[in-house]
Amino acid sequence: MIVPANYENLDILHENTMPSRAYYIPASRAIENLVEHREDSDRFQLLDGNWKFRYYASIYDVKEKFYEENFDTESFDEIPVPSVWQMHGYDHHQYTNTRYPFPMDPPYVPLENPCGTYVHTFSYQTDEKALNAYLNFEGVDSCFYVWMNGSYVGYSQVSHSTSEFDVTKFLKDGMNTLAVLVLKWCDGSYLEDQDKFRMSGIFRDVYLLKRPKQCVCDYFTTTSITGQKATVDVRFKYMDKFMPVSVCLYDQAKNLVSKSEAEQIKEDEEGWQSLVSLQVSAPHLWSAEDPYLYRIEIVCGGEVIADQIGIREIKTRDAVLYINESKVKFHGVNRHDSDPVTGFTISLDQMKRDLLVMKQHNVNAIRTSHYPNAPQFYQLCDRYGFYLIDEADDEIHGANDVYLKGDDWQKRVAAWSRPIADNPAFTESVVDRTKRLVQRDKNRPCVVIWSMGNECGYGCTFETALAWTKKFDPGRLTHFESARYTSNDRKYDYSNIDLYSRMYPGLFEIEDYFGDNPDKPFIMCEYSHAMGNGPGDLEEYFEKFQKYDGFCGGFVWEWCDHAIYKGETIDGKKIYAYGGDHQEDPNDGNFCMDGLVYPDRRPHTGLLEFKNVHRPARVVSFDQETKEITLHNYMDFKNLKGYLNLDYELNCDGQIVGTGTVGTDEIPDIPAHEEAALKLNFHVPSKGKCWLKVNYTLALDEGLLKAGFPLGFDEIMVETEDCQNQMTLQLLKDEKYCHDEIHVEEDDRYLYVENEAFSYTYNKLTGLFKEMVYEQQQLLEQPMELNIWRAPTDNDRNLKHEWMRAHYDHAFSRAYETTMEQSENQVTIKSTVSLSALTIQRILNIQLVWSIDSCGKVKAEIHMKRDMEFPELPRFGIRMFLPEKMDQVVYYGLGPVESYPDKRRASFHGLFKDEVAKMHEDYIRPQENGSHDDCEYVKVQSERYGLTVVSDKTFSFNTSVYTQEELTSKAHNYELVPSGYTVLCVDYRQNGIGTNSCGPSLLEKYKLDEETVTFSFQLQPYKI
């Protein structure tokens, strides 16, 4: 083999790498913006670009010494660096969630280990003032060997961390040749089993840093606050020996705040050799709401290191989390590095795009799941204001998927940790990953919590890592949800964990925790699984956040759908691939499609829900007589006065009948967590259904957001004399006379009900209409159906098995008896019906009453009784297949965003108009979508005729060009074929959405679990 098998040797994690240090970019002079323009530094040489590349299916196929200085690479391909090779046609894509894609046999990996050889030539010129050169790789998956000009430089692993090599003695002036061998798997892969596509290569930047022989090697800034003063302490290490260091601190106006020289101290066990303490009077503190940064300049040995400093403190007291002495709530997300085109390779612009969309949707915190991000990402979070849980590159989930005899969960938990997490042979590996995380990011104010990793089990390796972390950096908190997963083999040390962390707890578990006098703050590192149409429980969790001071918030799983872009269909629809689409084994299907945004960062409706749940202010009470609202400030630091503007509108029966604005000067003084009253001015009509909508907008430009940007809204029902929508009342009103009398004919199968305006055919065998013709226009292209099925959402992925076992997806109606009564202007049809399916008993017993008047209006009364042996229903209502030309929709209810019983905070009441095709929410794996809850009427129409559905009790509906069968059967949205109809579902209601794809079961109050239901509505055809 061409290289020694370091990749299976736990005793060789790195070879010839520099000690881990803080991220910085040195320069010969002070430079303003090295966050986004580090290439401006004359001591920075970026080596990115097109490199020569050859892929091998096995390390044993690499025979030639490609790293030699004059090796001929003419036959090599080219690949961009940074990138992952799977995105350029090499190897294959594979998505797994928890399972290792190789045998669980640590530290050994497959013998036929795929690899890639890289060769790059570049010009180098020695800087006489910075004679040393250091080669940096910010991310390589999974391990790599390095040569420079034919000489071996070193070896490293830990995919998502920086590896730095001293290459001074290998470089020469003029052209140089850098060669790298990257292997797909190494022993570290057992600790990198994150829920993601498995991708390989040099996926982050590669660069050289030119440094003086004697200079600062590392520094650690910490801040403390006492009253109206702050101290910024900076500790230093040097390349070799103590050097004079001058430190200046500037505010954002470039005023010098403090200046001092470092004083030599007795070297401690971490190697700090000198210290400077900078005093700051009346400090401007950093928080996610006010991310104020000071600029620090460190001058030593002929170079300048410029950095940004945020003054802030984080602590816990009485089991409550505080930042700058304020109780803080994290409304956060878990974020992977993921892009459908570039994979793990994320540019600065891509980072900023994510952060912009997060800010637009009231996200204030990020967990870097489940590895460190590129270092510039943290600097952007410092600048734009996000709290970070910074997570080590550790996940050992696959150790929980081993074969066990007599498998049960407790047995599996007990076995999980033994191979790796509680195995001393892996202690160095785990601690190394923690140290590389903490050392690199220790100066970032946005990092408030260190996480040891994700879903690893627990044991001696993490106990050691936690002990080191708390000793090294006591000024931040520690987190490790996986500490819950232990055996009974011994007692465990939890003393260095600051937070009690949970994933996907049920609400009752939160109540139980706070009912037991806890000694640590409660945090949800993952909750509200946002897969597909979801999440559906955000408001309930928000209420728990506010109920308990010790509940410091949570991080929704997850930010983006992971997918691979495969081009477009002939009609221009994007093709996204997920697990299994590359015939890989094992794979976990579309479980990677679980984000709040689509792969191209278009928001899911779940993100719109998140935004309004976490709006900065809420109306918590309303006095209609005085028109006074009480505003509560849910910010943790900012006063609402000066932060937001407010406008409002009174909507009555879908029409705006009153508006008003409250400018910045008129907003009352409302400090964080406080509330105050505010009077509005509007006139309430005597009748109608009225809703007051209060909109919050940003008062001034702030970071990534511009003044006027919408921050959220409240909606309050306003009482009138009748609180009734007048259009609804008019539609429900009986007409005395429309047309000639109704004629009825009957045979064994059908009732034929008609007059000069309409002709309806009623199927006595099903209890439903087969045809409805109005003014010579066919309204039903297929017979009407009773409907209990919905295309399972991703959050139905567990429940759908019960639904299918109950044959809900193949249920049909059967009538036992039908009677008809006729009066002068009305025909009443009554049918006794059941809903059942092949091989099973009746699901529902139903009494149907249809009353048809001479205008063609049909009143429906449906009385249902369910066999309680069956699970809750997906939905209950009727389905109609209308002509495709009926493609326009007008409705009064919740809109314009889709809504469900537990997912409706992004919607508001009003009169909405839309096109059927545009009401489809195009989830990548097709599923139920586009419902609108709390509706009073809906009109579906063409240019010539239409059908109104109206009820005296609100209902839900959706219209689609697709059938639920089509949505159920297809695996990808680009495979969907329109039905040729406008499919209209009118529902008593639907089951809630929830987050049971990876979370607790649906709350009882949102289940469609009633034993009996009465559902009434009217169908009214009309001409235009």
Check residue 158 and give left, alpha or beta (phi > 0: left; psi -120 to 50: alpha). left
Q: Quickly list DSSP for 982-1001.
A: EEEEEEEEE-----TTSSPP
Q: For residue 235, give the nearest of 218, 253, 255, 215 by alpha carbon.
A: 218
- DSSP code of residue 483: G
Inter-residue contact 450 to 478 (CB < 8 Å): yes
Assign 237 to helix, strand or coil: strand
Whether the upstream peptide bond of residue 142 has omega within 30° of 0, thus cis, is yes
Amino acid letter for position 586: P
Assign 587 to helix, strand or coil: coil
Strand order in the sheet with 314-317: 314-317, 320-323, 326-327
Distance CA 868, CA 635 (A): 46
Q: Look up residue 19 and give its two tokens.
A: 């000690």
Convert 507-543 to b/e letters by CB count within 10 Å (16 or more is b). Answer: eeebeebbeeeeebbbbbbbbbbbbbbbbbbbebbbe
Residue 1011 is among the residues annotated as catalytic for this protein: no
- DSSP code of residue 383: H
Specify the residue for token string 């410029």: 306
Residue 8 is among the residues annotated as catalytic for this protein: no
Out of 303, 463, 526, 936, pick the active-site residue. 526
Q: Are strands 500-503 and 522-527 parallel, antiparallel or unpaired?
A: parallel
Q: What share of the chain is helix, strand, coil (3-state, %, to 5)?
A: 15, 40, 45
- DSSP code of residue 149: T
Start-to-end Cα distance in the chain: 80
What sign does the dihedral 859-865-867-870 (CA atoms) show?
A: positive
Which helix (H) or strand (E) covers residue 853, if one does? strand 844-853
- DSSP code of residue 291: B
Out of 289, 395, 455, 928, pick the active-site residue. 455
Cα separation values, 10 from 14, 138, 160, 195, 420, Å: 10, 22, 18, 24, 12
Distance CA 437, CA 387 (A): 16
Cα separation values, 532 from 538, 793, 795, 985, Å: 15, 7, 7, 20
- Contacts for 900 with CB less than 8 Å, ≥ 6 apart: 533, 536, 931, 933, 956, 990, 992, 993
Q: Quickly list DSSP for 29-96.
A: S--S-TTT-GGGSTTEEE--EEEEEEEESSGGG--S-TTSTT---TTSEEEEES--GGGGTSS---EE
Distance CA 653, CA 722 (A): 12
Assign 722 to helix, strand or coil: coil
Distance CA 2, CA 912 (A): 68
What sign does the dihedral 473-477-479-484 (CA atoms) show?
A: positive
Distance CA 769, CA 750 (A): 9
Distance CA 672, CA 877 (A): 46
Convert 477-506 to b/e letters by CB count within 10 Å (16 or more is b). Answer: bbbbbbbebbbeeeebbeebbbbbbbbbbe
- Residue count of the chain: 1024
Q: Look up residue 601 and give its two tokens.
A: 């960062």
At residue 735, φ and ψ (nearest 5 deg) are: -85, 135
Q: For residue 533, give the nearest of 967, 1, 32 by alpha carbon.
A: 967
Inter-residue contact 394 to 430 (CB < 8 Å): yes
- The total of other beta-carbon atoms located within 10 Å of residue 230's CB is 23
Residues noted as catalytic:
455, 526
